[in-house]
A and B are shown apart, each in its own frame.
Chain A
Amino acid sequence: MENTKLGIPAPSALMVPVDLGRTGLSIRVKLALVIGVLVATAIAALATFVLIQTREALTSETIRRGVIIGRNLADYSKGAMLAKDPLQAAQFAKDALNDDAMVSAVLVDEQGMIQAIQTSHRKGALNVGDHYDPLQGAALSVEGLAGDIQVIQSQDVDSGLAVLAFSFPIIKADVFLGTAYISLSQSRVQMVVTTVTKDVILLAVVFLAVALFLSALIANVIVRPVQKLTQGALAVGAGKMNTRIESDSGDELGVLARSFNAMTEGLQRAQGEMLEKQALMQELNIAQEIQQGLLPKKIPKVAGYELAAFYAPAKEVGGDYYDFIPVAGGRLALVVADVSGKSVPGSLGMTMARSVLRSQALTNILPADTLRKTNEVIQPDIRRGMFVTMFYAVLDPVAHQLACANAGHNPIFVLRADGQVEEHGPEGVALGLVPAAQFYTEDSILQVQTGDLVAMYTDGVTEAMNANSEEYGEDRFKESLQKSAHLPVAQMVEQLVADVRTFIAGAPPHDDITLVLVRRLA
């Protein structure tokens, strides 16, 4: 790339390493946690609901069963109780125990004495004839149950099992004969609840696993485009400006990917423009450096004369230059020139013209010969269509003569001591246009009187334009010369430039301004 030659760093070198900062829990983990908690909560709620329902259903079934068994026992044992027949009573109690859930069946007479007692477990401490203390516990209010039946949630004395205890009055023909007590184990309820709980836990584990797996899948769907974006952003950060992220998704991440691409494209364009601008700036800087380097470092001293020079480059570097060359016989050659090319080619053209002129100035006496020879040397080598206009004048400070020759440059102005301004413009073809045979220039001697001032300039002065596209022009320049005539040339040159700048009033100058002043003092 051209840029590297100009010392512009490669794009990647402009980039700063990216600090991604602290990385916390990844989206995957967060999502898995959220989904896990959600699923667990849902399962727990569902399990609780199922367990409560199951427990209630089983309890009411046990109560129904207890009521049927107890009612039957109370009904069937009426005869045996009336007859005080313990054997028959025992048989009824035994029959009642046929049901799996039954824990105990006790028939008690009206005195509270046991007539028959049967338990599903080992025989307890109570026997027929003993006083029976009914099981104590929380009474259950059961809807639709006859008022004389009691249901108590209790614990069996012998086995320690959780039981539902029922009591049924035994009444025959309004005569209270005793009470039938039965108790049914709730272990079945417990067992079913345990089974259901186990099932629910198993189900929960399976669901949780499925949920986590799904959450990982979903996380991938979300995270993959995000990872792509992250990688893309890092790539761009590393200077790979042609990075694009593929996404045809219609969701927010798809939109983000497309905005990312648009952003990268914008960045790429901006960077390209910046590099181009830098390259252009660099080129202009090089051109300016070449140009500045060619200008005289200081104004030479000539006895009886004062000299001043001014040069200001336009934004787009033109190819003006001026020069002072000491030549034979104590004379001083003055040069003002304008190269037609701009920027680096213009500066190089100027360098060539300056070098050739400097060597020719030393070997030729007549200015026209100097220009003729200069044209002869540079014309074959100069870029086609490029040319140099030059006003070349040799000052003889003893004879007070200015020997001039012109190569396509604008005439010089002579401000006479009496305030008159004369134009002095010998004819001549610009340097570099035509070969020696067709080239033309002529010598012309200007006599310099005491107080006379010679102004050599480039068209950047007279063609300076204001915002209304009006030119500063030769007449304004002549007037300005007359108005500032009283000043020493060093201040006069500043005054002349200030007048041009006042006229253009901030409009950007489109050409270099070059001005050389020479005044005979004595």
Chain B
Amino acid sequence: MNQLVIDINPSTADPSVLVFRLAGHLDAQTVRELEQHYEAQVKAAKFKWVVDLSKLEYISSAGLGSFVGVLSELRGQGGDILFIGLSAKMEKIFKVLGFTRIFRLFADEATALQAFKV
């Protein structure tokens, strides 16, 4: 069984922003747990998310779809999902799917936090 390790913490530089650090496999099975975290954070009125994919080995279409699924809710509350740490391969997937037209990708956490301030 492929595992997904989910680590969610407020950014040290800006505690109003949550940083999701994902490691392992994000697929149709493991995405269920991640979606429970989405729900909990939205309930806790945390709408600004930075998602770090640098430790993620695999992402399935179900995993990708989950980000889009929660996106409109976050943006409706003035929040967003910003991605950091994409490998070249993952960036290509994002590009082909048109995700780069929906999401913004950043090199690191600091530049992503900067984008939230603008």
A binding-site residues for B, Cβ under 8 Å: 338, 340-342, 384-387, 389, 407-411, 425, 427-430, 433-434, 438, 440-441
Contact = CB atoms under 8 A, between A and B. Distances in A.
Interface residues of B, number: 15
B98 interface: yes
Given A427-B101, A438-B102, A440-B98, 14 more contacts: A340-B62, A385-B68, A385-B69, A387-B68, A389-B96, A408-B96, A408-B97, A429-B98, A429-B99, A429-B102, A430-B97, A433-B65, A433-B102, A438-B101
A385 B98 contact: no
Contacts of A338: 61
Nearest to A339: B61
Contact of B65 (A340, A409, A438, A441): A340
Contacts of A433: 65, 68, 97-98, 102
B28 interface: yes
A434 B68 contact: yes
Interface of B: 28, 61-62, 64-66, 68-69, 95-99, 101-102
A384 B72 CA distance: 11
A407 B66 CA distance: 18
B61 A387 contact: yes
Contacts of B64: 340
B69 A430 contact: no
A338 B65 CA distance: 13
A410 B102 contact: no
A384 B69 contact: yes
B96 to A, nearest CB: 6
A385 B72 CA distance: 11
Contact of B98 (A340, A384, A386, A427): A427
A407 B98 contact: yes
B101 A440 contact: yes
Contacts of A389: 96-97
Contacts of A341: 62
30 contacts: A338-B61, A340-B61, A340-B64, A340-B65, A342-B28, A342-B62, A384-B69, A385-B62, A385-B66, A385-B68, A407-B98, A408-B96, A408-B99, A410-B96, A411-B96, A425-B96, A427-B98, A429-B97, A429-B99, A429-B101, A430-B97, A430-B98, A433-B65, A433-B68, A433-B97, A433-B98, A434-B68, A438-B101, A440-B98, A440-B101
A411 B95 CA distance: 11
A438 B62 CA distance: 21
A386 B65 contact: yes
A365 B73 CA distance: 35
A408 B64 CA distance: 12
